[in-house]
Amino acid sequence: MFGFKRNKDKTGLITTERGQINTPVFMPVGTAATVKALDSKDIESTKAEIILANTYHLYLRPGDKHVAKMGGVSQYMNWNKPMLTDSGGFQVFSLGQGNGGGSLVKIDELGVTFKSHLDGTTHRFTPEIAMDIQKNLGADIIMAFDECTPDKADNSYTREALDRTHRWAEQSIAQWEKNGKISAQGKAQALFGIIQGARSKDLRRESAKFICSLPFSGIALGGETIGYNMEGTLEVIEWIKDLLPADKPIYTMGLGLDPENIVKAFLAGVDMADCVAPTRLARNGALYFGELRGGKFESEFEKGRLNINGERFKGDKGVIMEGCDCYTCQSGYSRDYLRHLYRSKELSYYRLASIHNVRFMVRLSEQIRKERQKNASSS
């Protein structure tokens, strides 16, 4: 059971067996079936409606078949809401030739052979294998296997990679259908296709036409540019937006480094975004701060990040951000205390900081939806 309804105000609703997801939505990343430093109750407190887990990492450890025996990734991590898994392609190719790790990855027309970053053992991913792994993991939304082409790849290689991605998209659909479009736990799985083409307008448009012509449940934008280069990301969206379907959710993979990024992406028509940045930045002392005003993100701090290690916060009794409804701010933890925890490398800091950053991004998505609904009702 999967459905998507887009409203006139450009908000939307995704329906899965495990629950509904309001769009636009920011998805926290739980790489190894955990959002770093947070348990399932902590994640629930951020009001996240869906989280992402990583196929590559869960395949290597503890193993997709083991996760299946444990009831699937949702039950495994005690999360009763929707989940999405990527295909593992990005992680595999990030080790590959385009990024200086050619000895770890060998690409052929049928798939990819790679060495584990954990122990050096050799493994093989094909579209069929990626679909079977994701069937075992049991997420509500799964991703087609694709080749994540680096921006610096030449035109000839980008062309070859795009053709492979398109063939693999068709093979992913065939295996998804062969698997009955259901997980190993018997729940419905939706499959999203991924548009590639690096920084070529012609190839991006060609890919958009091809991927959107296939019976995918949703459409994603992938590639090195997406999320890492915001100017480039918005350019890619502009190139292909007239080709994107109105009746399917649009997902920018790996986007959400800074609050302003998701505001711009959602304004450009994106429905879904995910990023590891909120928890990664939190662990490194960067706490989100700012407000949505008139459709724009404003903050007194560069990139919307408060550096809790700063000398100015010594003796500061205030919470991270007044008006923030996250557990950390509502409980009254002061900037000075969080600075102390951070400088002391206390484990509790990572939890408190991560709760704030994840809730911040989820709340920003909520505010964007409310602003759209308000504008639509007053027009």
Q: What DSSP assignment string belongs to 28-97?
A: EB-TTSS-TT--HHHHHHTT-S-EEE-HHHHHHTT-HHHHHHTT-HHHHTT--S-EEE--SHHHHHHTSG
Assigned domain for 365 exists = no
Range of the domain at 41: 3-275
Average pLDDT over residues 270-281: 98
Measured CA distances, 296 to 265, 291, 299, 337, 370 (Å): 12, 8, 10, 31, 14
Asked if residue 149 has pLDDT above 80, the reply is: yes
Q: Same structural domain for residues 311 and 255?
A: no
CA gap 147, 168 in Å, rounded: 9
* Cβ proximity of 118 and 104 under 8 Å: no
What is the mean pLDDT of the segment spanning 197-211?
98
Say if residue 267 is in the same domain as residue 297.
no
Question: Do 88 and 205 belong to one domain?
Answer: yes
pLDDT at res. 101 = 44
Q: What is the DSSP string of 97-124?
A: GGGT-GGGEEE-SS-EEEE-TTT--EEE
Query: Mean per-residue pLDDT for 234-238?
Result: 98
Residue 242 has pLDDT above 90, yes or no: yes
Contact 275, 29 (CB under 8 A): yes
- On the 0-12 / 13-18 / 19+ scale of CB atoms within 10 A, 242 is exposed
Model pLDDT, residue 185: 98
Confidence band (pLDDT; 50, 70, 90) for 147?
very high
The Cα–Cα gap between 166 and 214 comes to 10
Q: Which of 247, 275, 303 is the last residue of a domain?
A: 275
Query: Which of 302, 312, 307 minimizes the C-alpha distance to 259?
Result: 302
CATH number, domain with residue 171? 3.20.20.105
Which tokens go with 223? 């590639």
302-310: list long-range contacts, CB under 8 Å, 24+ apart.
Answer: 303/258, 303/260, 304/258, 304/259, 304/260, 305/258, 305/281, 308/335, 308/338, 308/339, 308/342, 308/353, 309/285, 309/339, 309/342, 309/343, 310/339
- Residue 48 is assigned to a structural domain of this protein: yes
Same domain, 142 and 226: yes
Q: What is the pLDDT of residue 212?
A: 99
For residue 24, cis peptide bond before it (omega within 30 degrees of 0):
yes
136 within some domain: yes
Both 44 and 169 in one domain: the answer is: yes
What is the per-residue pLDDT across 27-60, written as a single tens digit (0 to 9) for each?
999 999 999 999 999 999 999 999 999 999 999 9
Say if residue 123 is in the same domain as residue 231: yes
CB atoms within 10 A of CB 223: 31
Residue 370 lies in a domain: no
Looking at the fold, whether 225 and 351 belong to one and the same domain comes out as no
Instruction: Tell me the C-alpha distance between 137 and 163, whole Å.
Output: 28
Q: How confident is the model at residue 23 (pLDDT cuts 50, 70, 90)?
A: very high
For residue 271, which of 257, 286, 251 has the smallest C-alpha distance? 251
Same domain? For 7 and 26 the reply is: yes
How many domains does the chain contain in total?
Answer: 2
Same domain for 229 and 250, yes or no, is: yes
In a domain, 363, yes or no: no
Whether residue 91 sits in one domain with residue 49: yes
Yes or no: say if 316 and 307 are a contact pair by the CB < 8 Å rule.
Answer: no
Q: Decide: pTM greater than 0.95.
A: yes
Average pLDDT, rounded, for the chain? 96
The verdict on 137 and 232 lying in the same domain is: yes
Last residue in a domain, options 224, 249, 275? 275
If we measure between CA atoms, which residue out of 224, 207, 225 comes closest to residue 216? 207
- Which residues touch 307 (CB under 8 Å, ≥6 apart)? 285, 286, 287, 301
Beta bridge partners of 296: 293
Please check whether residue 117 lies inside any domain of the structure. Answer: yes
Q: For residue 90, what pLDDT is reported?
A: 86
The catalytic residues are: 86, 274
SS3 assignment, position 256: coil
pLDDT exceeds cutoff 80 at 379 = no
Residue 294 lies in a domain: yes
- Can you tell me the mean pLDDT for 148-158? 91
Q: Is the pLDDT of residue 201 over 70?
A: yes
pLDDT > 70 fraction of the chain, expressed in percent and rounded: 97
Half-sphere exposure of 126 (CA within 13 A, CB side): 9
pLDDT digits (tens, 9 = 90+) for 77-118: 999 999 999 999 888 877 654 444 456 889 999 999 999 989
Please name every residue paired with 273 in a beta bridge, in sequence order, or none if there are none: 26, 252
156 and 181 in a single domain? The answer is yes
The answer to whether residue 377 is domain-embedded is no
Q: Please write the tens of the pLDDT for every residue from 246-265.
A: 999 999 999 999 999 999 99
| Contact between residue 67 and residue 59 where contact means Cβ atoms under 8 Å apart | no
70 pLDDT exceeds 80? yes
Can you give the pLDDT at residue 91? Answer: 86
